[in-house]
Structure 1
Amino acid sequence: MPTILHLDMDAFYASVEQAAKPSLRGKPVIVGGIGPRGVVATASYEARRFGVHSAMAMAHARRLCPHAAYLVPRFAVYRDISETVMGLLRELSPLVEPLSLDEAFVDLEAGPHGSLLRTEDSEAVTETARAIAQDLRGDIKAATSLTGSVGLAGSKMLAKIASEEAKPDGLMVIAPGTERELLGPMPVRTLPGVGPATAEHLRRAGMTSVADVAAAGEAELVRLLGKAHGAGLHAMAVGHDDRPVVAEREAKSVSVEDTFEVDLADRGRVREEIDRLSERCVRRLREAGRSGRTVVIKVRRYDFSTLTRSDTLRAPTDDPAVVREIAQRLMEQVDTTGGVRLLGVGVSGLADFTQEDLFAQAAADAALEAAAPQAAAGAGEAGGSEQGTDGHGGEAGPGEPGPGQSEAVPVSRRWLPGQDVRHASLGPGWVQGSGLGRVTVRFEVPGAAPGRVRTFAADDPELEPAPPLPLVG
């Protein structure tokens, strides 16, 4: 029966920013690291039409969609909204399994509607579950002004597939008996546990769709992939997934790993894989709104011996460059002469990633940039002139440097695009861009009409960082 619900908020970070900033509604928004090695965390659906997607290098995203609004993440805001959404899910059932800030499974049968869902009448169960999901979507919209897509099915795997099919802002129910028909045409990567190496192994055996995997039979898959992996994969290919929804538990670490079909002997290839795994690990870390102090690598060598190496930082980080550097340094301590079967990168010692952490990291980056003198606009230009820009570019602010003025902008007054601010006389707003000693701010609040844009000197004493405003009054 379709009593497992999977909720996935639509383009979560970007949708939060569009809701908080009325001038960005319906326009491309890209959230992520804004530095030269930054990575896209989330792209709005308007930006995705230009080919931008999560985990893409920010430099590439700017080439594909130069007119988008490029904003730093505001993790404290995302976590607050996530807690509101998860609270609504817990009203439906005590069995809520969050996967990240914007995604969770719910076992509806364990909740107050359980008696209505424990019946042999599949049509009645389906309609009850559908009504619960519709009410949930309405409650989320009322509480946060955001949309989420919901999948309902008899298992976690199918519920997640259904929510993906329902995107954006939709609801899909997989009725009992239709599972194999739905799964059949889908690529093998749809199935949990099928990564690039397993997919390539299956392709060489002539299996590219879920239907091919189901038709191959369990015995053939066990022969190809081993007993545990082969049997589990066949069960999922025919629509069976008995993994229970596990009530929320605090994650102690975030990690990723890959097993290679052919042992890696080339040291350069090993370094490439460590870089790729580090990026994936940090992406998961950021999706969960966390940072961590300890970087861990896992290496399984040609002879199946497995070892780990770790290094602990003085403070938590979610900087991919930091994780990459430490992982590569740890990898140098490992003898890979005979070849490597498996590599993994993880981060432990987790902490909440706060807004203060974000700006501290940005300030450190700015300190490096400030080492080279940069021009600053004269203080006499700081009167807050009207601007007609739409704020979708990013870094550069208007104005030319005054004669003989080359003083660097103080790090403490570094303004980041998307940052919440308040002006003593103009009220709340957010930073559209900064540069050349100027900062451009759009003054608007959630739920209102798009506001006006003004430009100030970067060190204007009337302009200060501010806490975010709630999305719903």
Structure 2
Amino acid sequence: MEIDNQYRKIIHIDMDAFYASVEQLDDPDLRGKPVVVGGGGERGVVSAASYEARKFGVRSAMSGAIARKKCPHIIFVPPRFERYKEISQKIRSIFHEYTHLVEPLSLDEAYLDVTVNKKGNPSASLIAKEIRQRIFNELNLNASAGISNSKFVAKIASDINKPNGQKTIPPEDVIEFLEELPIKKFFGIGNVTAAKMYNLGIFTGMDLKLKSEEFLTQNFKSSGAHYYNIVRGNFYSQVKPNRERKSVAAEHTFITNLTSEIFMLEKLEKISKELEKRLVKSKVSGKTITLKIKYSDFTTQTRSKTLPFFVKENAILLETVKELLFQEKVMNSVRLLGISVTNLNINSKKKPEKPINVQLKFEF
């Protein structure tokens, strides 16, 4: 029997404070201490924070200077991405012993579809527990997990019992779970969108569910239909082992804020050259070019242009970025500039998925 999407068994595995935990693993002197991976200088940014540092309010993407104010005895360590990749590959090897349907999201998290799995285990919850235990036994690292019938709910669930825990939301409980969920807990709803929803009287999933699709579209444009559907459980995107690359980017944070477009152009020339190298290395090109500007107050602005042809050449990238830069006046000093290329020329034709045959009893 071909499986109904609502009865899929999806696990979302999320490593706990991965970068910081690897540093504590490799250096025993860091264990039990507030550790931050990233720069601690005036222009530094927190890439990851240990749970000891998080107790002081330190979070990723926070400036190093603010992190140090919150926790004066904090320890900064430089990132070692090759080491994180090495550990990540070992974790993924464990995943693949259970299912070939593994969709990595980053070095420290992934979706697994275990509806039909290599161990013949009907319980996704037990599989998640076993995987987490193996990661701890073999790598001495902790992971959390969320289990449900969709990627969306599984990802929300993985955050509920962090660190070193898991949460299962079986199919029959999904709607009630979403109705009771605070709106800010919905994956993909950030601070700005949440604030707008609060102003509209939307504080929980139930509040969201009471709004019509027309109302949500009027207030949230193309995202309105998405919000309308997710709170009703209408989301069954499948786990895709070979995720297509959607963008290639390069950016740089400056030691001193930039106040002149002339100085910004000099930096953008270097960034566009680096981006060209990455596009060539990835063997892709794209039509949409986006300029990212982060100001000294940490607000971010993006400006985009879609060309009628695919590009990867530095000359065209830079010419387009110049146009975007002078599209409107830069009103504040700038701490970061970035260029990204999307709408890539990657063949997106999919092979039809084979039906999955399962038994009628679904045990989570």
CA spacing shift, 1:116–1:20, aligned 2, 3 Å: closer
* Residue 86, structure 1, aligned to residue 85, structure 2: no
1:335: how far off?
Answer: 4.9
* Residue 332, structure 1, aligned to residue 330, structure 2: no
Aligned to 2:271: none
1:27: how far off?
Answer: 1.1
* Distance in 2, Cα, partners of 1:210 & 1:147: 30
* Distance in 1, Cα, partners of 2:200 & 2:249: 30
* Residue 140, structure 1, aligned to residue 125, structure 2: no
1:25: how far off?
Answer: 1.2
* Residue 33, structure 1, aligned to residue 39, structure 2: yes
* Distance in 1, Cα, partners of 2:87 & 2:212: 45
Aligned to 1:171: 166
1:298/1:308 contact within 8 Å kept? no
* Residue 160, structure 1, aligned to residue 166, structure 2: no
* Residue 251, structure 1, aligned to residue 249, structure 2: no
Q: Which secondary structure does the structure 2 equivalent of 1:14 belong to?
A: helix
Q: Which secondary structure does the structure 2 equivalent of 1:109 belong to?
A: coil
Alignment of 1:198-277 (within 5 A): 198-226=193-221, 228-249=222-243, 251=245, 253=247
1:320-339 deviation digits (Å, cap 9, x = unpaired): xxxxxx998664232579xx
Alignment of 1:70-109 (within 5 A): 70-109=76-115
CA spacing shift, 1:164–1:313, aligned 2, 3 Å: farther
1:9/1:149 contact within 8 Å kept? yes
* Distance in 2, Cα, partners of 1:20 & 1:231: 46
Count, aligned residues: 285
1:36: how far off?
Answer: 2.7
1:346: how far off?
Answer: 4.9
1:202/1:208 contact within 8 Å kept? yes
* Distance in 2, Cα, partners of 1:209 & 1:345: 35
Write the letter of the residue equivalent to 2:54: R
Alignment of 1:264-343 (within 5 A): 296-297=289-290, 307-308=305-306, 331-335=324-328
* Distance in 2, Cα, partners of 1:161 & 1:308: 34
Write the letter of the residue equivalent to 1:137: R
CA spacing shift, 1:170–1:192, aligned 2, 3 Å: closer
CA spacing shift, 1:166–1:28, aligned 2, 3 Å: same
CA spacing shift, 1:69–1:223, aligned 2, 3 Å: closer
CA spacing shift, 1:49–1:306, aligned 2, 3 Å: closer
* Residue 13, structure 1, aligned to residue 19, structure 2: yes
Q: Give the gaps of 5 or more residues in structure 2.
A: 1-6, 251-260, 265-280, 293-302, 331-336, 343-364
Structure scoring higher RCO (CA < 8 A, sep ≥ 6) equals 2
2:161/2:167 contact within 8 Å kept? yes
CA spacing shift, 1:312–1:13, aligned 2, 3 Å: farther
1:229: how far off?
Answer: 2.7
Q: Give the gaps of 5 or more residues in structure 1.
A: 118-127, 257-270, 275-290, 300-304, 315-325, 338-343, 350-473
1:21: how far off?
Answer: 0.8
1:39: how far off?
Answer: 0.2
Output the aligned Cα RMSD.
Answer: 3.8
CA spacing shift, 1:10–1:116, aligned 2, 3 Å: closer
* Distance in 2, Cα, partners of 1:137 & 1:110: 19
Aligned to 1:184: 179
1:94/1:110 contact within 8 Å kept? no
1:2/1:175 contact within 8 Å kept? no
Q: TM-score, normalised by structure 2?
A: 0.68
Write the letter of the residue equivalent to 1:105: Y
Alignment of 1:373-412 (within 5 A): none
Q: Which secondary structure does the structure 2 equivalent of 1:26 belong to?
A: coil
1:248: how far off?
Answer: 3.0
1:163: how far off?
Answer: 0.5
Q: TM-score, normalised by structure 1?
A: 0.53
1:298: how far off?
Answer: 5.6
* Residue 129, structure 1, aligned to residue 127, structure 2: no
1:287-329 deviation digits (Å, cap 9, x = unpaired): xxxx999994269xxxxx9625999789xxxxxxxxxxx9986
CA spacing shift, 1:336–1:68, aligned 2, 3 Å: closer
* Residue 65, structure 1, aligned to residue 92, structure 2: no
Q: Which secondary structure does the structure 1 equivalent of 2:236 belong to?
A: coil
1:2/1:174 contact within 8 Å kept? no
Q: Which secondary structure does the structure 2 equivalent of 1:242 belong to?
A: coil
* Distance in 2, Cα, partners of 1:45 & 1:313: 42
Q: Which secondary structure does the structure 1 equivalent of 2:118 belong to?
A: coil
Write the letter of the residue equivalent to 1:224: N
Larger-Rg structure: 1
1:16: how far off?
Answer: 0.3
2:304/2:324 contact within 8 Å kept? no
Write the letter of the residue equivalent to 1:244: Q
Write the letter of the residue equivalent to 2:290: I
1:34/1:72 contact within 8 Å kept? no
Q: Percent identity?
A: 37
Aligned to 1:462: none
1:95/1:248 contact within 8 Å kept? no
Write the letter of the residue equivalent to 1:49: K
1:166: how far off?
Answer: 1.9
Write the letter of the residue equivalent to 1:70: F
Aligned to 1:413: none
Aligned to 1:373: none
Q: Which secondary structure does the structure 2 equivalent of 1:146 belong to?
A: coil
1:20: how far off?
Answer: 0.7
Aligned to 2:353: none
Write the letter of the residue equivalent to 1:251: R
1:67: how far off?
Answer: 1.1
1:162/1:172 contact within 8 Å kept? yes
